[in-house]
Chain A
Amino acid sequence: MLLTDSSESSIKSFLKNLSPVDQVGADSRAAMLATRSIKTSSKLWAIETAIAMIDLTTLEGADTPGKVAALCTKAVRPDPSDSSVPHVGAVCVYNDMVKIAREHLDNNGGKEIPVAAVSTAFPSGRASLDVKKRDTEDAIASGATEIDMVIDRGAFLSGNLEKVFTEIVCIKEICGERAHLKVILETGELVTYDNVRKASFLAMAAGADFIKTSTGKVTPAATAPVVLVMLEAVRDYFAMTGKRIGVKPAGGIRTTKDAIKQLVLVNETAGPDWLDPKLFRIGASALLNDLLMQRMKMKSGQYSGRNYVTLD
């Protein structure tokens, strides 16, 4: 069932043997799971779990060292008025900000928080393999321990699967034991759920530690059915190989409700083992404030407002 070698023909036959996705079924199952009601102590648990799973992200052309430093401070202690809030899963920045983020985290009690870098000509992935390799090497040398790489969607859509596969393998070689590799599929550009499933398997077979939905620069991003399809892929891959691959939805998850829906999907699809920051992350920035406000409401009984969380 699994790949025997990395030739075009063997990749094609491997992906061809994958069971197709029932699109209507995936849509309706995701919609059905979104109606689950999570309240009181379960909600509090979900909020805190979601906070610990956030890859707190800033990926703007206008990012400054000051903004990255502020983000890192928030990552270490999301709610300055409450030390019982867990720190976030990771900080996710562009390559040139990795060093600043790493230093700021180390100096402010966030030694255990990894820094993730978006590499390989993020967000489009339109560069030569050599440039992508050096981009990744540079990020790791600066202190990144997680690499978020983008796949070449153009190659994938035109059927040049070997190119996509080889790129992931090359980047994985560079990461080695030094960094976790997250492969961004950019599902908003993959058109069909079948493609999402194929790309997920391609990435996992090529050595991804995590598969990630989107760059956040394309809409639609992490829609519930897409995350469901990816979680199913991860589950099936685990059944085949015994290897647990993580999933990271990113983009468009802004409210506590959205985040809790994601956790329900994880629990019901991949299983409770995946409810762990090691295997599930949420790429977000605005989400954290909403989670904190909801948590304040749970703790104090009164609705909170944006004046009581940091501006970012």
Chain B
Amino acid sequence: MRVDVRKTYKLFIGGQFPRSESGRSYELFDAKGIFLANPALASRKDLRDAVVAARAASEKWASASAFNRSQILYRVAEVMEGRRDQFVTEVMAQEGVTKAQATKQVDAAIDLWVWYAGWCDKISTIFGSTNPVSGSFYNFTTPEPVGVVAAFIDGSTSLIDFVHGVAPILAGGNVVIAIANEEYPLSAITLAEVIATSDVPGGVVNVLTGRTEELAPWVASHMDIDGVDGSGLEPSAYEALKRDGADNLKRIYRFKAEGSPQRIIGFMENKTVWHPIGI
């Protein structure tokens, strides 16, 4: 008989897969109540480390060309495709769905990466503008990334919601700290492994697993986080996030579980440039 080789599900911070700084983990059970894994239970210091890593990576990612970002997001879809079986197995284990349902979800998740990849170089065309002004100036408005965005991943699905949380933030040139849904950390970490091998620079995507309610107040008050997708928070936690996040004027939103350019543009701010005609 062969001994099981079990996978340790760790965090993803700055392109590395560390355990939680606190050394903690929590027990995860499948839909039938059978033990699945011991994912890391992230602490506030892991969050702080993730913010430092994200901030360090943000300038390079924001200044990459939109076309280049698009290629990299597409690359994630390609690499995911090669690991379909693993994703299908994990979706089945976590959600207790049939193989057909799980396969459908994985396909949809991969397609969603492609869809958001396509948005990278279109967002500025569609949401930017050239403005008519009375004077000898060209006047442009273009959306620019705000910087570091945290995303609380919703739990209606184990995989698609994670892509909804991460991909649009990347598409806009922001870097992301994704706080995986408590029930579904496996898909999140496996996707992090895909991201780590898809030309996404280290620190651009950071994934924490653990208790949402433990991390939410620290995300809200962290002065170096510029935006938060609160889709995965309870209504009361979301209200608290909006209140505590006001200190540094974070952009705080929650979204419906569907693909939308609003998920991208929500974490961008408009920059207007006046350029003299004839120079």
Are B55 and A303 in contact, CB atoms less than 8 angstroms apart?
no
**Which residues of A are found within 8 Å of B248, using beta-carbon distances?**
305, 307
Q: How far is the CB of A238 from chain B (nearest CB, A)?
A: 39
A residues 291-307 in Cβ contact with B at 8 Å:
301-307
Are A303 and B51 in contact, CB atoms less than 8 angstroms apart?
yes
Q: Taking the complex as formed, is B122 at the interface, i.e. its CB lies under 8 A from any CB of chain A?
A: no
| CB 8 Å contact bits of B203-247 with A (1 = contact, 0 = none) | 000000000000000100111110000000000000000000001
Q: How far is the CA of A94 from the CA of B266 in the complex (A)?
A: 47
Q: How far is the CA of A305 from the CA of B222 in the complex (A)?
A: 8
Q: How far is the CA of A306 from the CA of B148 in the complex (A)?
A: 12
A residues 268-312 in Cβ contact with B at 8 Å:
301-308
**Which residues of B are found within 8 Å of A305, using beta-carbon distances?**
51, 55, 222-225, 248
User: Chain A: which residue is nearest B48 at the CB level?
Assistant: A303
**Which residues of A are found within 8 Å of B221, using beta-carbon distances?**
301-303
Q: How far is the CA of A302 from the CA of B250 in the complex (A)?
A: 14
Q: How far is the CB of B53 from chain A (nearest CB, A)?
A: 13
Residue among B218, B222, B223 having the largest count of chain A Cβ atoms under 10 Å? B223
Q: How far is the CA of A85 from the CA of B154 in the complex (A)?
A: 43
Are A302 and B247 in contact, CB atoms less than 8 angstroms apart?
yes
User: Chain A: which residue is nearest B221 at the CB level?
Assistant: A302
Q: How far is the CB of B1 from chain A (nearest CB, A)?
A: 42
**Which residues of A are found within 8 Å of B222, using beta-carbon distances?**
302-303, 305
**Which residues of B are found within 8 Å of A307, using beta-carbon distances?**
223-224, 248
Q: How far is the CA of A302 from the CA of B248 in the complex (A)?
A: 11
Q: How far is the CA of A301 from the CA of B217 in the complex (A)?
A: 11
Q: How far is the CB of B55 from chain A (nearest CB, A)?
A: 7
**Which residues of B are found within 8 Å of A306, using beta-carbon distances?**
55, 224
Of all A-B residue pairs in the complex, the 8 with the closest CB atoms, nearest first, are: A305-B224, A302-B221, A303-B222, A305-B223, A304-B223, A303-B48, A308-B223, A302-B223
Cross-chain pairs A/B with CB under 8 angstroms, 13 sampled: A302-B221, A302-B222, A302-B223, A302-B247, A303-B218, A303-B221, A304-B223, A305-B55, A305-B225, A305-B248, A306-B55, A307-B224, A308-B223
Interface residues of chain B, those whose CB is within 8 Å of chain A, are: 48, 51, 55, 218, 221-225, 247-248
